[in-house]
């Protein structure tokens, strides 16, 4: 059983723009959701690279791996990862690297489901937006 309760979702704004987000609980780990706020970690190829990097650390092939943004930066060793941020908005914390790997694997599965139009009630590709005159 996972230490984290994860919710992945898509918000659609009034102008039709979409944003892929994650909500992480319990609250002491919520800053992990900030990893996707700048849009870089919503790209399948990027997240695949992260999963491969984390797998290599967990398996012992690589000593460490780091990734993230200024809102959530993760430094991983074989057993433990440390999450921090550039703004000191969230207090740094340690979490098992296996949990970070599971989070990113599940996020990758969500991204694939989004790309394959497998999110119920959400058409893909996004419908074209006509300007209001």
Q: For the chain, which residues make up each domain, given as ranges?
A: 5-115
Whole-number CA gyration radius for the chain: 16
- Predicted pLDDT at 126: 59
Q: DSSP code of 38? A: T
Q: Where are the alpha helices (DSSP H) in the chain?
A: 44-58, 97-115
- Predicted pLDDT at 119: 86
Give which of 79, 84, 77 is closest to 34, Cα–Cα. Answer: 84
Residue 28 CB-density burial (10 A; 0-12 exposed, 13-18 middle, 19+ buried): exposed
Q: Which residues pair with 83 in a beta bridge?
A: 74, 93
In the chain, which stretches have pLDDT less than 50?
A: 129-133
- Predicted pLDDT at 75: 98
- Predicted pLDDT at 42: 93
- Predicted pLDDT at 133: 41
- Predicted pLDDT at 53: 98
- Predicted pLDDT at 89: 76
- Predicted pLDDT at 40: 92
Between CA 54 and CA 38 the distance in angstroms is 21
Whole-prediction pTM value? 0.89
């Amino acid at each position: 059983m996972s230490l984290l309760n994860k919710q992945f979702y898509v918000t659609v704004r009034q102008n039709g723009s979409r944003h892929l987000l994650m909500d992480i609980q319990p609250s002491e780990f919520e800053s992990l959701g900030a990893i996707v706020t700048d849009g870089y970690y919503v790209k399948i190829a990027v997240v695949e690279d992260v999963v491969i990097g984390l797998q290599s650390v967990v398996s012992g092939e690589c000593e460490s791996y780091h990734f993230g943004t200024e809102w959530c930066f993760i430094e991983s060793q074989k057993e433990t990862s440390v999450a921090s941020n550039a703004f000191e908005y969230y207090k740094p914390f340690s979490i098992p690297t296996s949990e970070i790997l599971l989070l990113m694997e599940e996020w990758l599965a969500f991204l694939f489901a989004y790309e394959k139009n497998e999110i119920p009630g959400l058409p893909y590709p996004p419908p074209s937006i006509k300007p209001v005159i």
